[in-house]
Amino acid sequence: AKMELYSDIVSPPCQNVLLVAKKLGIALNTKKTNIMDAADVAELTKVNPQHLIPTFVEDDGHVIWESYAIAIYLVEKYGQDDALYPKDPKVRSIVNQRLFFDIGTLYKNILANIDVLIEKQQPSAELRGKLEQALDLTEKFVTECRFVAADHLTLADIFMLGSITALEWFRYDLERYPGIRGWVERVTAQFPDYSDFHKEIREATKQYVATHCPHLEY
């Protein structure tokens, strides 16, 4: 099946979908989409009225956006097994809890801190405190279990890895979080070409920062 992904590797939600596809051995035809570019946005709006990336389009015209929804669909439709998104209701409930924790707490607070820095402000004590609470919880999750939701890699690890990687936007020091650092190594070891992927993220982000927010020292 021919599958397109409107994507920009600078965006953590796009990175997450790309990694899920890698793990499933799916080839996605990526259409590089800059949401700062009016022509790209016009093109994207034809398939997605909310014009968000990532947006996934299948050859039969089926369209999905929201990275979590795309990832779940890819596993359910194209996975050789259910390892990334287990069918067992108890295990799946933990994976879901972690995914909702990511969207509502971890990624949300990382993004809030990045947004403030992009606007040339400094994060308030409240914003920094919320981020710290989110990281403290993440540390607890990865200390209780080898992976974040089960004893093996699931979608929750991939999404939370994208969030933790985004901390590089403001060089957040994970010194206090040995559990998170060890977990990052375990998760990235599941992807043979992860270092190339990470290098691609870093280069694209460096370029993005230089263009749009040169005051940040990425």
List the one residue out of 89, 86, 98 whose CA is nearest residue 183.
98
Do residues 72 and 100 lie in contact, with contact meaning Cβ atoms separated by under 8 Å? no
- Nearest residue to 69 (alpha-carbon basis) of 96, 89, 40: 96
Listed in order, strand segments (DSSP E) in the chain are 3-7, 29-32, 55-58, 63-65
Query: What's the rounded Cα separation, in Å, for the pair 148 and 187?
Result: 10
Give the burial class of 119: count Cβ atoms within 10 A of its Cβ; 0-12 exposed, 13-18 middle, 19 or more buried: exposed
- 11 given a catalytic annotation: yes
Catalytic residue (one of 11, 67, 93, 163) = 11
- Tally Cβ neighbours within 10 Å of residue 138: 23
CB 171 within 8 A of CB 217: yes
| Contact call for residues 64 and 15 (beta carbons, < 8 A) | no
Catalytic residues: 11
